[in-house]
Structure 1
Amino acid sequence: MNKQGDYKRVFNHLDEDGNGMISPKELHRRMGMIWDEEIYIEEVESVVESLHGRNGELGFDDFFNLVESDKEDEKLEDLKKAFRMYEMDGSDCITPRSLNRMLSRLGESTSVDECVGMISKFDLNGDGVLSFDEFRAMMV
């Protein structure tokens, strides 16, 4: 089944009354069954409101966008952590030397000159280093 089909099954499960919309109360009730910690109805209402749900409820598209945006946030955080591992020297960029050090730690035998070549393939502005945005483009 495709991703949207999977989300549709979850959406239908959350839509207790089958009206094609998830109310904050339905979402709150189901979330309470899933998570161990207490979630306040006001928090759920705020999330629904921030998504511009029609009449204070979430349609399938709203729900799909909510789930996908959470996944994108997680991916971005993972990329930031990986970037910080490679940049090492606090320069907010990956230099040939910092790339060489990290690759050495990972057991890769490369020279700084080889790292210059690796960086140049993704160095969009030609400054000889990788910014986070260039690193993200490389990883996508």
Structure 2
Amino acid sequence: MEGYKRLFEHIDENGDGKISVLELQQCVDLIIGKDVLLFEEAEAAIVAHDSDNDGLLDFDDFMRLVEDGGTKEEKERELKEAFRMYEMEGCGCITPESLKRMLHRLGEKKSVDECRGMIGRYDINGDGLLNFEEFVIMMCC
């Protein structure tokens, strides 16, 4: 739960305790590195989970958004599969080099330095790598 709280605070750029459509869209775009989530899609996600109809997600709304999309076991299995795809060096972590290789396979051209920066946004323990817990936080954004 603490990881989700930190993630929520990271997305909430203006610190008002709520996530706007633009903040949600920018977060997804930042993680993926291109415009993947359309404004309308972010807006629909917020409308579907906004309990007080103010057009924003508070933390409880955000948790409902995170929890949508399957059982906890299904989500964990999918995240573990995705993690294994990115973690190519057998060290149990995603390195800047393994991230670069996977992004290249997905058609994204990133330098090792760019990948290091992407990892740095979610590298909670500061070791320059993403472990599974940090990967989950990154993917849930």
TM-score normalized with structure 1 length? 0.50
Report the structure, 1 or 2, having the larger helix content.
1
Flag the structure with more relative contact order, 1 or 2, with Cα contacts below 8 A and sequence separation at least 6. 2
Q: Based on CA coordinates, which of the two structures has the bigger radius of gyration?
A: 1
